[in-house]
Amino acid sequence: MGAHAELNKRIALAIDDPELPRLTPGLTTRISFHVGSGASTLAVENGLVAFDRAVGDAEVNLRAAEEAWEKVMQVPPPATFHSFTAFQLANPEFTLSGSPVAIAQARPAIERLFEIVVASPPIVVAKVDRNIEQVTGRYKQVNIGGVEHDIYYEEAGAGTPILFLHTAGADSRQFLPQLSDTGLARSNRMIAVDLPFHGRSMPPLSWDGSPYQLTKELYLSWCTAILDQIVGDRAVVIGGSMGAAMSMVLAAERPERLLGVIAIEPPFRSKGRRNPFQHNVNVHGSLHNSAYVRGIMSPLSPQAERRRASWIYSQGAPGVYPGDLSFYSDEFDGAVVGPKIDAKRTPTVLLSGTYDYSATPADGEKLADLIPGSRHVVMDGLGHFPMCENPDYFRSFLEDAIRFVEDNA
């Protein structure tokens, strides 16, 4: 069966997906997929999705040669052939056309559609024993530069202090699989915080309502205060994405407060995370942003876990995700930060997933070259959110990284 026929077959099955109606409320558009000289069109009328195999004018058009679509049809597909946003941002074999607003409004439906089209059997690993009831949550008033912040954090276990830092636009729920891990809790005191403006941590009362914008200095002041006033001890800082960038900043500028760092999906310079519709009155931010991150997860991660990971992004406050990217995408530069890290003093582990086109294994390798003595591990089959998109498979990588830090601290 050719790539066009196979794509038609998979799309015809996908349009009955029960999740699609949640992603298309009020949407009217036509989306055409061009396979070589052929094309097929998805029609959405006031939120109702239908598949029309005929070629027609469309508001959104995705084009590639048949050879490229054959890679999409592989089980599993190669990296950058696995999601709509990957086609758009990281794969030069695909061309996307249409008005930016039309693409942004259709993104949730198209991203979910391709999540089904490229569905592959998940990686099979032993199930990790977890008990969500061992996790406790509380608030602490933290003084940051003379300003009181009501910080929410969750904690579990006893032993080596670990501070988890969430990704841009998210919150500490990303680390619930680790906090509830009964094995990790036996030897680690794990703390995951919601940064100010995120999750259950409110903005300070002194905030005047102006656009939120994160800078390195602001983020560094938050983390220094959290380490001093919540953790209260030297800790292993484990951060994902934006949190990985800050873990490296802490290693470079606050090493006396650390036992070591584990950077999950560390960027060199973050690529492709900016999007003008992350905060735009013309586009449903909750639907758009949760879809935008689905594309950097692995097709080999369980769909139920991926859906939860994207759910967190549907609940971020307006403007917080792009505000975080002011630090993560615009300011952080691994070429500057990496050489400042002394891995002999601060053991450093870099963990890179093969399906992450935003912070790639090549980025991790470049960072490792700038940090002599650091350890870089490529995690085959994982995407940008391994701690929550596939926590059982990620567990062995995390455990090995913690052991490396403890052995070298």
The 8-class DSSP code of residue 227 comes to: I
Please give the torsion angle defined by the CA atoms of residues 337, 343, 348 and 349, in that order, rounded to the nearest 10 degrees: 100
Domains in the chain, start-ordered, CATH in brackets?
3-117 (3.30.1050.10), 132-408 (3.40.50.1820)
Strand-pair category, 235-240 with 258-264? parallel
Spell out the per-residue pLDDT of the chain, length 409, in tens.
699 999 999 999 999 999 999 999 999 999 999 999 889 899 999 999 998 766 667 999 999 999 999 999 999 999 999 999 999 999 999 999 999 999 999 999 999 999 999 989 999 999 999 999 999 999 999 999 999 999 999 999 999 999 999 999 999 999 999 999 999 999 999 999 999 999 999 999 999 999 999 999 999 999 999 999 999 999 999 999 999 999 999 999 999 999 999 999 999 998 767 899 999 999 999 999 999 999 999 999 999 999 999 999 999 999 999 999 999 999 999 999 999 999 999 999 999 999 999 999 999 999 999 999 999 999 999 999 999 999 999 999 999 999 999 999 8
What's the rounded Cα separation, in Å, for the pair 11 and 40? 10
Indicate the pTM of the whole model: 0.97
